[in-house]
């Protein structure tokens, strides 16, 4: 009987020692993991925003921050993520929890949630909004006021421009040239044209301005959420048969359920005419496009412009040429202005 008891005690002690050894071995990793997520210790989130936002009707649609004396305007960064409907405001040098001593002042009309945390010598606020807004800021010593502006209160009309593909979605590839890069190059030239047009009263929003992956759902939701007056997607065509195809020219796809005046087909026709006019390319015509996700799900008049055929040698040379990309961008810009300023 005593031998059995001794065996059991020995087994129990062996198991205990085994787990102690494992704990000792993994202790450094546990410390590393703790340091990696330590910022979460001071992360606070408020869905009942009245807990940290003192209502003041003078600041309707605005929020006022009373800042520590060491914060200057250069220490403030504002990021506006239209896709997630989040605005991040960071203050370099704000080391403690802001809400330990302060409240925000203003109104919560557009705010669903406020979060705050400290990281890398910054105090970071994240505002989750109920829609897409532009942010206007006013800074003076010890004070920052931000205002949430509906884009339609700023611009006469709004267009969303989509550079097709991107990131891990290259699109057509011919002779080492990726469609996503041509689409982006034309879009960036379009952005330059608009940014230098000081008389424009049209707000331009872009699904991407870099080589990044954006889901089709996110692209069309941006246009729908912002209630765009037009949605244009820039692409390039290819013929699956072979290289050196004789097929060439500009082709524009439209929503076959939007045939009314001022609808998708109308917008597509304007795009086709203006891009052909600007580039001198062959005019292939319009094509129904309800098989395309962003076309059948867009609430705004939508046009998907296929600027040229990457499987056609002459088209591909043009598409990869900066001067041609500028011409195509001018054609698209003229089409947007013509359609929205009618």
Band (224; pLDDT cuts 50, 70, 90): very high
| List of domains in the chain | 41-149 (2.60.40), 153-340 (3.40.630.40)
| 234-267 confidence digits (pLDDT tens) | 999 998 765 667 899 999 999 999 999 999 999 9
pLDDT at residue 232, rounded to an integer? 98
DSSP strand pairing (173-174 vs 177-178) = antiparallel
| 38-95 confidence digits (pLDDT tens) | 334 578 888 998 888 999 888 889 999 998 888 999 999 999 999 999 999 999 988 7
Residue 42 CA to chain centroid, in angstroms?
A: 28
Burial 227-266 (b: 16+ CB within 10 A, else e): ebbbbbbbbbbbbeeeeebebbbbbbbbbeebeeeebbbb
pTM for this model (two decimals) = 0.84
Are 111 and 129 contacting, i.e. CB atoms less than 8 angstroms apart? Answer: yes
Beta bridge partners of 163: 234
Q: Tokens 């052909």, residue?
A: 276
């Amino acid at each position: 009987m005593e031998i059995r008891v001794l065996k059991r005690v020995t087994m129990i002690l062996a198991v205990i020692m085994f787990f102690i050894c494992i704990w000792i071995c993994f202790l450094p990793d546990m410390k590393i993991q703790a340091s990696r997520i330590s910022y979460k210790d001071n992360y606070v989130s408020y869905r009942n925003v009245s807990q940290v936002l003192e209502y003041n009707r003078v600041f309707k649609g605005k929020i006022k921050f009373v800042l520590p004396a060491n914060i200057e305007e250069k220490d403030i960064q504002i990021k506006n993520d239209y896709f997630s409907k989040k605005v991040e405001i960071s203050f370099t040098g704000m080391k403690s929890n802001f809400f330990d001593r302060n409240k925000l002042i203003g109104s919560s009309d557009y705010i669903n949630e406020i979060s705050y945390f400290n990281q890398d010598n910054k105090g970071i606020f994240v505002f989750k909004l109920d829609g897409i807004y532009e942010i206007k800021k006013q800074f003076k010593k010890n004070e920052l006021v931000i205002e949430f502006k509906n884009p339609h209160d700023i611009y006469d009309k709004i267009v969303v421009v989509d550079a097709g593909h991107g990131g891990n979605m290259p699109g057509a590839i011919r002779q080492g040239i990726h469609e996503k890069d041509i689409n982006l190059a034309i879009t960036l030239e379009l952005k330059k044209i608009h940014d230098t047009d000081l008389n424009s009263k049209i707000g331009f929003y872009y699904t991407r301005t870099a080589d990044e992956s954006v889901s089709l759902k996110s692209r069309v939701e941006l246009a729908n959420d912002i209630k765009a007056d037009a949605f244009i997607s820039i692409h390039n065509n290819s013929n699956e048969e072979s290289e050196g195809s004789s097929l060439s020219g500009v082709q524009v796809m439209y929503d076959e359920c939007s045939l009314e005046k001022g609808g998708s087909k109308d917008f597509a026709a304007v795009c086709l005419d203006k891009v052909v006019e600007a580039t001198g390319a062959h005019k292939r015509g319009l094509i129904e496009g309800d098989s395309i996700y962003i076309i059948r799900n867009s609430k705004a008049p939508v046009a998907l412009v296929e600027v040229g055929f990457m499987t056609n040698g002459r088209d591909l040379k043009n598409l990869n040429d900066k001067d041609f990309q500028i011409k195509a961008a001018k054609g698209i810009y003229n089409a947007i202005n013509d359609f929205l300023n009618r």
